[in-house]
Amino acid sequence: MPSLFDYPGGEHQPTATQEYLLREGSDQDWATLNRYTHSRRFHAGEVVISQGDSDRALYIVTDGVLEAVLPGRKGFRRLSTFEAGSVIGELSFFDGGPRSALVRALTDAELAMLTVDSFNALGSAHPALARTLLFDLGRILAGRLRAVQAGSAN
């Protein structure tokens, strides 16, 4: 059975429609969201998320390129790459389960970390923006799930 990050043809090629968070957000929306996040920097090769970790934070890639990988028989198998505007960690953010893959920086990268507590504070102060974020995360998850389903049908 394929995992959520097993994309058809090996590596998933995200499109802005599928992957970009707040694609219709204004500069004001981004400024508001940024007040509830913490910026984190990573160097090329550095691990951002370890498979199995229990951290519930959601990460928004603001600069750089990341990759999600799973250990395999011959080293790591790349599942996907993520660029600015993409999100990672959304599964654990929603369900509190362990991280499903290892994510590391391919280039120097900057991410905006949004914790569940910070999201709750955002939702209290800016409910319309929080609702938009939830629908965007749902759209992104749905696109990833459809890609998995399309790959398993082949």
Q: What is the pTM of this model?
A: 0.81
Looking at residues 85-97, what average pLDDT do you find? 93
Give 3 or 128, the one with higher predicted confidence.
Answer: 128
The pLDDT score that the predictor gives to residue 108 is 98
The verdict on residue 75 lying in a domain is yes
Question: What percent of the chain stands above pLDDT 90?
Answer: 64
The pLDDT score that the predictor gives to residue 77 is 86
The verdict on residue 97 lying in a domain is yes
CATH number, domain with residue 109: 2.60.120.10
The pLDDT score that the predictor gives to residue 25 is 86
The verdict on residue 36 lying in a domain is yes
Please say if the pLDDT value at position 67 is more than 60: yes
The verdict on residue 48 lying in a domain is yes
The verdict on residue 115 lying in a domain is yes
User: What is the tally of structural domains in the chain?
Assistant: 1
The verdict on residue 79 lying in a domain is yes
Q: How far apart are CA 114 and CA 34, in angstroms?
A: 9
Domain limits for position 68:
16-143
The verdict on residue 10 lying in a domain is no
The verdict on residue 151 lying in a domain is no
Question: What percent of the chain stands above pLDDT 70?
Answer: 86
C-alpha closest to that of 25 among 144, 140, 136, 138: 136
